Structure 1
């Protein structure tokens, strides 16, 4: 008999499956990065087409979340996850077996559509089963698992290229997709029971997204998420130009210095995992806001005081990465907390805000300033200040709701 309550998975199993699902996204970017020049040369095309293969992937990734979330609210999480990862496998095979620009671009679109399910449904699966501090702790564990993929993928991709061609990289991605499909089918439980599902219609989807976009309980945490990650993608787009072109690091030195960023995010997630057992979501965000304020000040001051010094750039980067570990899970949980009935749509829209913030941040960093260092020292303090301002508005709004008498 159908029930409004599904048989839950353990926190550890939810985090492991969710983390492996989300990791498909960055894995599919970082794994083939070392092969991109070879792909461009072999296909007889230009660097612009190589960059386009990234752009279409990101666009499909962002937009498909708006579809897979409501689908899972109607059809269930497991079925939709398996369906979308099957598209990912098909896209990977299309690129691996194809030898044309058309195959590369169409396959990357299918891959982007497929991996969109990882972000949206991992968050929905957490919201289906957990709330409050427990949900924050699980989302933090998912983030920790997620950091492993972009950290090891470039090295793994380079190692694969030593034993095979770039086609093998996409066969490895296809294998990972098949592994996820098997894992979801065998180890994951359906967290969204039939009795709780929403009817699938364009009107319902539009109404649910309209509800989320018009409700401050969702929008304010989602904007904090977008702004904080927008800053991250902003400086991520600038760092190669600043560290290599302006400061003068070689490729190896750049790779070593970037370990500061990866190490800070991993350390932040470990610390946030421990802190989530002792601090409320509000206090987790407060810690994150203090860190992002220090990062914004650091970006505004340190590179000006110590021009040409890599640490003057990387210390603020490390502080920002630490802040994301505290802000990300807490604001994601807060945005979804009151929307359990449409957790798929809410999880998808938080993903769109996160990716959209990254697009805006990286675009502004790339085109709105004359120099990379000028963008870093100006845009990052602004992004930090906006993040803090929206978080304060959210706090005032929450107090206002708490003080208002209930409707009768």
Structure 2
């Protein structure tokens, strides 16, 4: 079941990293600009956030399994539409639907784990799931770079369609219903609004969720800008970019392995603090190196590796700590985390391209700003308090 949930959670890296090497080619093929093809990333991330925001609370009343099945079936259809899109406008719309349906799998994968585990066990499970799912960001850019020449960017979307079919089969075979009827909340609007009110009233939940979302915003600044920074500025080929991207993904997976082994030996909160601090320092050094030294690959690439690898101590730990604050509304809590995560990613994506293809300064600034705000949210909002509000979700 954990492998199936990891596959569901991998829809974001699979649907972004696989076609990243082809972004410059896509802009020529569809007769659009760099900003136009980056909008396919923006709408996908917006769809991921919207899907999680709507389906997470709904699953607290309806259960997880049948919504997962519906979501994966829509994902199959929307992925096929992306492959057939005749214009960039159709592709942007199809990516929105693809993101929405993919968001269902992501939000419910988190909710299923929250249904089954708490505390350090949940943190370890989230970390292990990210290790399994980490195969996607490692393999996706390499696979995308290798397939781009033989089958083109449309062929890459057909591969994504086949993976969506595999996700559907995995849900049908391996993911049972984890929220029994007696633990479900009412499915009406008032109940959903009450659950959102309950979740958002938990100060420490908001702090951990903000730490997660802002850190992911830093990572997506890198994801969105790196194809152009590495190829247009540093002069790497699409194959070399895929290799660099894969190496950074290996750092993310390796960090998750280390993190999973350290959970239980060190407090989860301490591991999260180390990750956020490293992200902030890496972002500051990256911007400083670009402004002072210039575009030196031997300096920029290692600092990008540090920024990406720091996420392995942030994403799983922040998720577990946030979900532990709202155990009675796991679906709604997961929805808030996911919506803020991908909503911020959708905002960041076009911003890193504002300076054009000849500068990496917007990317570095975005990473540093997100890292600074993540460290601030963690420091200010997640401190222990003896006056936490006593509230309950609406049943």
Contact persistence 2:232–2:357 (CA under 8 A): no
Aligned to 2:101: 114
Q: In 2, distance between residues paired with 1:387 and 1:115? A: 25
Contact 2:279 2:306 in 1 (8 A): yes
RMSD: 3.2
State the match for 2:302 in structure 1.
315
Partners of 2:23 and 2:367 in 1: how far apart?
Answer: 29
Question: Greater relative contact order: 1 or 2 (C-alpha under 8 angstroms, separation 6 or more)?
Answer: 2
Alignment of 1:67 with 2:54, yes or no, is: yes
Aligned to 2:32: 46
| Structure 1 alignment gaps of length 5 or more | 1-12
Question: Which of 337-346 and 253-262 deviates more?
Answer: 253-262
How many corresponding residue pairs?
390
Cα contact 2:231–2:237 (8 A) shared by 1: yes
Q: Is the 8 A contact 1:126 1:135 kept in 2?
A: yes
Distance 1:139 1:201, change over 3 A: same
CA distance in structure 2 between the aligned counterparts of 1:229 and 1:349, rounded to whole angstroms:
14
The answer as to whether partners of 2:196 and 2:332 remain within 8 angstroms in 1 is: yes
Q: Which residue does the alignment assign to 2:44?
A: 57
Task: Write the distance in 1 (CA, Å) between the matches of 2:353 and 2:161.
Answer: 33
CA distance in 2, matches of 1:311, 1:136: 35
Cα distance in 2 for residues equivalent to 1:52 and 1:322: 26
- Among 9, 14, 20, which residue is 1:22 paired with? 9
Q: Could you give the per-residue CA deviations for residues 320-377 of structure 1, whole angstroms, max 9, x where no partner exists?
A: 2222111111111111113222211111110111112323444443438997344355
Per-residue deviation, 1:168: 4.4
1:392 counterpart = 2:379:
yes
Name the counterpart of 2:119.
132
Deviation at 1:388, TM superposition (A): 1.8
Structure 2 length as normaliser, TM-score?
Answer: 0.86
Q: 2-side partners of 1:184 and 1:63: how far apart?
A: 21
Does residue 295 (structure 1) correspond to residue 282 (structure 2)? The answer is: yes
Residue range with higher mean Cα deviation, 170-179 or 332-341: 170-179
Deviates more, 1:173-182 or 1:360-369: 360-369
- The equivalent of 1:359 in structure 2 is 346
Counterpart residue number, 2:253: 266
Residues in 1 aligned to 2:72 and 2:387: alpha-carbon distance in whole angstroms: 40
Alignment of 1:26-37 (within 5 A): 26-33=13-20
Name the counterpart of 2:324: 337
Aligned to 1:346: 333
Note if contact 2:42-2:345 (Cα within 8 Å) is conserved in structure 1: no
Stretches of structure 2 that go unaligned for 5 or more consecutive residues are none
Aligned pair 1:197/2:167, yes or no? no
Q: Decide which of 203, 206, 209 is 1:222's aligned counterpart.
A: 209
Deviates more, 1:361-370 or 1:147-156: 361-370
Structure 1 distance, partners of 2:145, 2:358, is 31
Q: Which has more radius of gyration?
A: 1
- Offset at 1:35? 5.5
In the other structure, the counterpart of 1:4 is none
1:206 equivalent among 173, 178, 193: 193
- For residues 102 and 369 of structure 1, the distance between their equivalents in structure 2, rounded to whole angstroms, comes to 21
Residue aligning to 2:142:
155
8 A contact 1:299–1:376 mirrored in 2: no
Q: Which stretch of structure 1 is more off in the superposition, 177-186 or 133-142?
A: 177-186
**Partner SS for 2:10:** helix
CA contact (8 A) 2:42 2:346 kept: no
For residues 34 and 291 of structure 1, do their structure 2 counterparts lie closer, same or farther at Cα, with a shift above 3 Å needed? Answer: closer
| C-alpha contact (below 8 Å) 1:235/1:362 kept by paired residues | no
The equivalences for 1:169-184 within 5 A come to: 169-184=156-171
Between the aligned partners of 1:163 and 1:124, the Cα distance in structure 2 is 39
Q: Tell whether the 8 Å contact from 2:229 to 2:357 is kept in structure 1 after alignment.
A: no
Where 1:372 maps in the other structure, the secondary structure is coil
Q: Which residue of 2 aligns with 1:279?
A: 266
Alpha carbons of 1:214 and 1:40: their partners in 2 closer, same or farther (altered >3 Å)? Answer: same
Q: Please list the CA deviations of residues 175-215 of structure 1 after superposition, one character each: whole Å capped at 9, or x if unmatched.
A: 32222222212211211111111111222222222332232
For residues 340 and 177 of structure 1, do their structure 2 counterparts lie closer, same or farther at Cα, with a shift above 3 Å needed?
same
